[in-house]
Amino acid sequence: MSRADRRASLKQAYGELYAEVSRLVREADPIRLIAIGAPDDEYDVEVSTILPRLHEATSASDVHRIVYEEFVRWFDADIAGPPEIYVAVSEEIWNTCQRSAEAPNREAPGDHHGGVR
């Protein structure tokens, strides 16, 4: 499955939750890529690997761990920066998941090993 197909599948599977988490991460802009002119979908790959892992989360702290791990995975620790810059967006994602009937206890169809970029 191509990256674009995987993202389309996740958008369909998670619906509004995908859009909301993508918006939250984009607005947080933890690596400051949007601020320097990156496209609005710059963090969609990271969102595509964060969402399937949210079923692991039982707290905002768990979401923080997941979000930070995925940013380190895609950008490495030096570029991702310190974990503290992900606290606020992780709390917002957790609150969004708590309000959503769709998550966090969902995996994307066919995703049992984490996403691929």
The Cα–Cα gap between 43 and 105 comes to 22
Break the chain into its structural domains and give their ranges: 3-99
Contact 114, 14 (CB under 8 A): no
Tens of pLDDT, residue by residue, the chain (117 residues): 787 788 788 888 898 999 999 999 999 999 999 999 999 999 999 999 999 999 999 999 999 999 999 999 999 999 999 999 999 999 999 999 998 854 445 444 334 334 333
The Cα–Cα gap between 117 and 103 comes to 22
